[in-house]
Amino acid sequence: MSIENKRKHLFISHHHKDDADVSKFIGLMQEKGYDIRNSSIRVKPENQERIDKKRVSDDVIRRLLRMKISWAGTTVVLIGKETHEREWVNWELEQSAKQGKRIVGVFLSGGSNADIPKAFEEYGAALVKWNSESIMRALEGENNFENPDGTTRDAPNRGTTGIC
């Protein structure tokens, strides 16, 4: 597989508390020869305060997110302990589905089936544990569904099956 085939334009949906895991995910894929281009928003602490205090409107955030999702070929959602509670994560997954993006879920350490966002259950195409081989297969189009321990599970839906 050439480097061009290993270049992936991803929107990485995640809970902002899991920002460090976005970097770990990109590093894990780079170790396997992938060139990951990430269009997700990673908010600096000073900007998070502006968002929390509603100094940036939700309409502005939605417009920006739609553009960033549009640029990506695939949406990856990092599933940690609080991911399922995040309104923005579900919104990003719904928008990804509306745009016809393949949605791949990746369990973070400590993530469980109970942490899967509702929108992923409806639109997800693959769900894998934090393992480079499983992630690569999912990014390349395999519709594999795993539990956090790597055992297989039933797919919650048909999902979007495009390849990034």
**pLDDT attached to residue 156:** 74
**Cα 109 to Cα 105, 116, 123, distances in angstroms:** 13, 13, 23
Which amino acid is residue 92, in one-letter code? E
The answer to the question of residue 84 being in a domain is yes
Q: Which residue has the tokens 């719904």?
A: 94
The answer to the question of residue 90 being in a domain is yes
What percent of the chain is predicted at pLDDT more than 90?
A: 55
The answer to the question of residue 145 being in a domain is no
Tell me the pTM: 0.86
The answer to the question of residue 17 being in a domain is yes
Residue 140 gets the label, from left (phi > 0), alpha (psi -120 to 50) or beta, of alpha
Domain assignment of residue 51, given as a range: 7-139
| Per-residue pLDDT reduced to its tens digit, 34-76 | 999 988 876 666 656 666 666 678 888 899 899 999 999 999 9
The answer to the question of residue 122 being in a domain is yes
Q: How confident is the model at residue 91 (pLDDT cuts 50, 70, 90)?
A: very high
**Mean pLDDT for the chain overall:** 86
Q: Residue 13: give its domain's CATH number.
A: 3.40.50.9200
Q: How many domains does the chain have?
A: 1
